[in-house]
Amino acid sequence: MAGADGLDFSTLDKLLDQALECDEEQLATLLEGLPEAQRSALVRLLGATDSNVLEKISKAARSSPAVKAAGPIPSQEKSRRAGSWRLCREIGHGGTAQVFFAERVDESHDKRTNFKQRAAVKILWSHRIGSQFSDRFFRERRILASIDHPGLARFLDGGLLGDNRPWFAMEYIAGEDIVTACRGRPIEDRLRLLCDVCQTIDYAHRRLIVHRDIKPGNVLVDSTGRPRVLDFGIARILDDAEESALTHADGVPLTLRYASPEQVAGRTVDVASDIYQLGVLAYEMLTGFPPYEISESSLQESVRVITEKVPPAASAYDSRIQRDVDAIVAQALAKDPSDRYPSAAAFAEDIRLFLDDRPVAARPRTIMYVARRFVRRRALTISIVAASVLGLTAATVFSLDRAREAKEAAARSRTTLEILADVFEQADPFGDAGAEVTLAEALIRARPAIAEKTAHAPKLAIEVNQTLADIFLSLDMLDYEVEAHEAAWAAAAQLGSGFERQLIASIAAIGNTKTRLDPREAALFLQKHLPESPPTKDAARDWLSGKYAEAHAWLRLRDDHRTDAIAGRMHEVAVKYEVDDPRTLGRISQLLAGTARRANNLPAADRHWQEAVEYMSQAGQPAGHAVILSNQALHYGSTERYKKSEEAFRKSIAVFREHDPENTTFADILRLYAGLQFRMGDPAAALGTLSESLAILDRERDHYSYFVAQNKVAEYAFASGAFDAAFDAIDDGLDLAFEAFGSEDEVTARMIRLLARLLAFAGAEESSVRALGMHDVLCEQATVRANAIYSVLSRNKSTDDQWRQTSEALTRARTDVALDRRAFDALIDRYRSINGTVLDPLDRLTLIEDLHQLALRHAYELPAELASARLRLLGQRAGTAEKVAGRWNARISYLLDSLDSHGAGQTCAGS
């Protein structure tokens, strides 16, 4: 059957089969001898070089009615446009579309605002219009417009050409495909690139978008070294009901070489398919070869290979590839989707674990495997020392004694690793009735054996116990960490003269850990055992570490005098010994800033804080840098320089977002920043920041941080009149508090007071005092009952001079029978000065009601804005009362019953 332009699809099908068997020279000869229409059509079909697509196109050519075949846009038509984009040159074409490099130039009358923008413009072949490909094209445009990630090519524009062909413009990425970019790179660098790609794909998956065509041509490495994922042209929305009609159409484009088993078998395609394609991409990035040889001539054979054949391990191509990497790639390439990684994020996490020399999820976590990974992490010590020994052998600037010491250190490091490996090997993995022994249990059991092996070798004992302390620290087993440091300290004491540095290092390490366990015990220990000054320059840094721990402990105990004395002494020692470690100097500057602040020397405090920030930025520890910035922000906030505080907080947050976005310390800093936003009069922004903080925290693990964040959500939501959000936070927070802290703990009491305030505002006086366990308040006469309740709930007046003065002035005014107008106006001014987010609705309503009663008693007129605020607050009170009696009622009753069950007060007679 021939089309309107004379194309015979039967002939075209035969030409296609012939072209597939040609080499490049034969293909050129074949194309040269064809008429223009056939040549153009065949070139377009050959653009889809994957055999699966070609076979489907061939099938369509045999069975479809005549469809108008479109010629490509001639490259010489430089003036041809797509919307405001000028098409400059073709840069690619495939089975569904042509892609052009394009420019958009804005040439306004004001040359200062002129700009030029580059893009890749994709234009659908016109013979696809009206088919499922057109639907898919518009879907792609909607999807691309909805996503924004630095690892994705950004969607810029889209529309229809004059001949009704759809087009869209994407960010133009100048780069090379990721497999090409990996050539010659170390394995670790390739894995880091892959990790970035996985995180980008995970971003799309979390928005219910599946790519379905992940391949090197769709992942380019740009000029900055960042991998960028292109072409979501066959992506699907997981919950889109229209998908079924498209997925089962014969014309679904895919790249056979990277297709998943479920894709070629025609089964459901979801996130797992992308994980598989990431596995194929990983294999090719690491080895330079595909995992399978795909037959270009037999679709049936290709499907069999993809669904049944297990590829050789990646290490078969490159011996540098380790078994862990083989296991990671194999899990991604599993034939059964349920055996693959559950998400691209989990794939990325296993890569990170490998890069950090930690056990990966793709391998069974046996005792020996975990031990080997630990030994590998410590192997750096050996390599560094060994390198030093080699350098000493070749050089003449060091004495033979120094060379001998270095060799002995290398031998001790090797022995340390051998001892630890032996410990794990000898540990009984099924010692407790078949239960698997954890890493922590194995270490605890091994301590006597380790002590025995190192009893007569103090230098080795120091090395081994310092290593053990590092492990216990990573496991958050602080008591055992202290024991290991104490063993190292005892060994250093045996060595005597010449080992003062090791002695001080152990004392400082013990003090640092004890500070986390018991600040007073830590302070007294360090005060007793650290010498007044470091005995040598080599010992200065460890001595300063110990003194910082002591200062930190006294600071937590609120002993400013001792803290300031230690800060001054640390500064003297750092100058004397010319200490240049940025982290140490940053700590000293932070302590000196506190000293200056307490002495009311604000310029000096500002200077020291800036020094601390600069030092920590040089220390190569992003989390430490971010924490110092947040402390600087708190300093500015405490002196009411809110703009400076906000700037420092934003810098701190930016560092965490880039380097450690899941850190619980980051969550705490977000909570502190929310406090600043609230104080600056933006409760909505504060609540948004708190939501981000809560999203980082694990409710079951980070009890205290999660509770405090929820407490702040309740406080800020209540203050801004978002009563539903306030109650939800109170409800969740109290549930957690009852479980984690108990109903009588001071932490829990914070949330109980908020619940009582909310109930008092709603007029639920009995429930309010029941929450507080002060039922005797209900025995008061009704006329004074509300004031009695409010008195119980009132904030700590000693912490807020303005609040205290306003409250005292109102109390005096109630007893003044001849309150003059000037005094009344002064009270109004006092209220205005503390209004805003400083007051919550209960404070506000109580004060305005006092002013209203005074105005009525003395025949004064309440200002219009206060009268309006009173009516609004009374309306809010009525609405909240309805919620207390309605949808909140059951939960409030449950919370109050929980408090009563713990004996939180008794009801007096007659209540």
Is residue 457 packed enough to be buried (19+ CB in 10 Å), middle (13-18) or exposed (0-12)? middle
Question: Could you read off the pLDDT of 686-697 as tens digits, one per residue?
Answer: 999 999 999 988
Which residues is 170 bridged to in the sheet?
A: 120, 155
Dihedrals phi, psi of 885, to nearest 5 degrees: -80, -20
Mean pLDDT value across residues 300-324: 88
Question: Could you read off the pLDDT of 588-630 as tens digits, one per residue?
Answer: 998 999 899 888 999 999 999 999 999 988 888 888 899 999 9
* Residue 141 C-alpha from the chain's centroid: 29
Mean pLDDT value across residues 513-536: 89
Element spanning 228, H or E: strand 227-229
Mean pLDDT value across residues 92-97: 67
Looking at residue 69, its pLDDT comes to 37
- Of 54 and 503, which is predicted with more confidence? 503
Mean pLDDT value across residues 140-158: 74
Tokens of 120: 């890749």
Assessment of whether the complete model's pTM goes beyond 0.85: no
Under 8 Å between Cβ of 137 and 97: yes
Confidence of residue 636 (pLDDT cuts 50, 70, 90): very high
Looking at residue 264, its pLDDT comes to 85
Question: Could you read off the pLDDT of 391-445 as tens digits, one per residue?
Answer: 433 333 334 344 444 445 555 555 665 566 555 554 444 444 444 456 667 777 7
Whole-number Å distance between alpha carbons of 190 and 288:
11
187-205 and 344-355 helices, crossing angle to 10°: 160
In percent, the amount of the chain with pLDDT more than 90 equals 19
Which residues is 118 bridged to in the sheet?
A: 103
Looking at residue 280, its pLDDT comes to 96
| 6 conformational bin, left if phi > 0, alpha if psi -120 to 50, beta if neither | left
Mean pLDDT value across residues 505-511: 90
Mean pLDDT value across residues 71-83: 57
Looking at residue 388, its pLDDT comes to 38
Which residues is 166 bridged to in the sheet?
A: 160
Assess whether pLDDT exceeds 90 at residue 275. Answer: yes
Q: What is the mean pLDDT of the chain?
A: 76
Looking at residue 620, its pLDDT comes to 80
Looking at residue 520, its pLDDT comes to 92
Looking at residue 242, its pLDDT comes to 37
Mean pLDDT value across residues 742-768: 83
Whole-number Å distance between alpha carbons of 692 and 673:
11
C-alpha distances in angstroms, 32 versus 9, 21, 40, 862?
19, 16, 11, 94
In eight-state DSSP terms, residue 216 is G
Question: Could you read off the pLDDT of 851-900 as tens digits, one per residue?
Answer: 888 888 888 888 998 889 889 888 988 998 888 888 898 888 888 887 77
In percent, the amount of the chain with pLDDT more than 70 equals 72
Under 8 Å between Cβ of 462 and 415: no
Looking at residue 326, its pLDDT comes to 93
Whole-number Å distance between alpha carbons of 612 and 403:
38
Question: Could you read off the pLDDT of 169-195 as tens digits, one per residue?
Answer: 888 888 889 999 999 899 999 999 999
Assess whether pLDDT exceeds 60 at residue 782. Answer: no
Whole-number Å distance between alpha carbons of 414 and 156:
58
Q: In this predicted structure, which of 221-235, 264-278, 693-707 has the lowest mean pLDDT? A: 221-235
Assess whether pLDDT exceeds 60 at residue 902. Answer: no
Q: What angle do CA 660, 661, 662 make, to 5 degrees?
A: 95
Sign, CA dihedral 50-52-57-62, equals: positive
Mean pLDDT value across residues 771-780: 58
Q: What angle do CA 509, 513, 514 make, to 5 degrees?
A: 115
Looking at residue 421, its pLDDT comes to 57
Dihedrals phi, psi of 159, to nearest 5 degrees: 175, -155
How many Cα atoms occupy the beta-carbon half-sphere of 464 within 13 Å? 32
Query: How many residues in total does the chain contain?
Result: 911
Q: In this predicted structure, which of 183-187, 201-205, 310-314, 834-838 has the lowest mean pLDDT? A: 834-838
